[in-house]
Amino acid sequence: MSEPFLKLRWLIFVVLGTWGMAVSALADGSTAPEYFSTSLMSQAERFAANDNYLEDEPLLAENKNYSSTKNLRGKPVSLNRPLKLDMNYGKGLFSDTGYALTAPLRWDKSDWITASWVAAGTGVFFMLDDEIKSKFQDNRSSTTDDISELFEHFGNGAITLPAVAGFYLYGRFGENEKIERTALLAAESFLVSGLFSTIIKVGVGRHRPNKDNNSSQYDGFSTSNKSFPSGHTTTAFAIATVVANEYEDVPLAAPLAYGVATLAGLSRINDNQHWASDVFFGAVLGYFTSKTILKLHSNKKGRHFTIYPRANYQGGGLVLSSKF
């Protein structure tokens, strides 16, 4: 690799690292939505009566099953459940894997429609695999190889897992719960999606494109030919989905995370290590596996609002109740 590109590669890593720290700092200042009550008493009447209603009465009727509210004194409470590296995390890893594995048993009509679209998209790429391979290899150059070498790292488990561990330690000892939680979710998504990817790889036994194979060569159960799906792409999208979700309040988080994951997947096609359908299905597998895990570790189950009248000796009003 040329010396200028080596410098560029490390510059990109430094920029990404600095951006990540900035993102965490910005996100830490976010708070849950505020809720309010419209009282029938006038403000003047409250002061005249030395009314302490605003300090003693909650404006939101809390759902005791969730801690996703903001109290009157302005203390923010996260919509997400706490996540720590302890015995419960280890146990949860196994239970979450089982839940994700059996998810199709709980799918509704919309889920099956989504699965059908994924199957259709994978089928289209299957038909175009040989043509896409030829196009990529015909246009391959030292520049595309250098770019691929850079972004391949973001899907390489030998690099991404230690990086996630480093972010966890930074969050743990820096007392930054958001970074700590994001790292633990990323690690779980990495492990679960990686397990699913490996099972499919061995079960399908697809030949890789780098030995002049055609895209329709399969061995069935095989531990040597494991092209479908792309593990690098699965890993990259699993982690990208966690970052995009946890930092959804930062405008550049999702585009940057998914952009890097996409380039990691394309690097596998450029390097002639995977077919386009391998990359497409790997991206889908990583994305939906992470979405399932994120759902299990979040109180964001959809907001349901109710407005009802309330009266006491101090007056009356309307209370907006929110259930998650």
Question: How would DSSP label each residue in 222-289?
Answer: -SS---SS-HHHHHHHHHHHHHHHHTTTSTTHHHHHHHHHHHHHHHHHHTTSS-HHHHHHHHHHHHHH
pLDDT at 140 over 60: yes
Q: What percent of the chain has pLDDT over 90?
A: 47
State pTM to two decimals.
0.69
Q: What is the reported pLDDT for 89?
A: 86
Helix, strand or coil, per DSSP, at residue 29: coil
Nearby residues of 192 by Cβ (< 8 Å), 6 or more positions away:
93, 96, 97, 100, 238, 289, 293
Q: What is the reported pLDDT for 227?
A: 87
Q: What is the reported pLDDT for 310?
A: 54
pLDDT at 168 over 80: yes
User: Which DSSP string do the residues of 60-110 spell out, in sequence order?
Assistant: S---TT------TT-----SBPP--SSHHHHHHHHHHHHHHHTGGGG--HH
C-alpha closest to that of 29 among 178, 167, 169, 164 = 178
Q: What is the reported pLDDT for 298?
A: 79
Residue range 94-128, pLDDT digits in tens: 989 999 989 889 999 999 999 999 999 999 999 99
pLDDT at 292 over 60: yes
Q: What is the reported pLDDT for 222?
A: 76
- Whether the upstream peptide bond of residue 229 has omega within 30° of 0, thus cis, is yes
Q: What is the reported pLDDT for 50?
A: 47
Q: What is the reported pLDDT for 157?
A: 87
Q: Give the model's confidence band at 16: pLDDT under 50 very low, under 70 low, under 90 confident, else very high.
A: very low
Q: What is the reported pLDDT for 120?
A: 95
CA gap 21, 173 in Å, rounded: 14
pLDDT at 197 over 90: yes
- DSSP code at position 32: P
State the Rg of the chain over Cα: 25
Lowest mean pLDDT of 58-67, 138-147, 181-190, 296-305, name the range. Answer: 58-67
Q: What is the reported pLDDT for 316?
A: 53
| CA-CA-CA-CA torsion sign (29, 300, 186, 5) | negative
Task: Give the residues across from 310 on adjacent strands.
Answer: 317
Lowest mean pLDDT of 11-20, 244-253, 298-307, name the range. Answer: 11-20
Reported as type and span, the H/E element at residue 312 is: strand 304-312
For the chain, domains (ranges, CATH) are 3-29+80-296 (1.20.144), 37-77+303-323 (no CATH)
Q: Compute CA distances 234 → 3, 196, 216, 241, 247, whole Å.
A: 31, 9, 21, 11, 20
Q: What is the reported pLDDT for 288?
A: 95
Among 65-69, 104-108, 315-319, the range of highest mean pLDDT: 104-108
Which amino acid is residue 163, in one-letter code? A
How far is Cα of residue 138 from the mean position of the Cα atoms in its chain? 34
Q: What is the reported pLDDT for 315?
A: 55
Q: What is the mean pLDDT of residues 52-70?
A: 39
The residue among 41 and 143 whose pLDDT is bigger is 143
Q: What is the reported pLDDT for 14?
A: 42
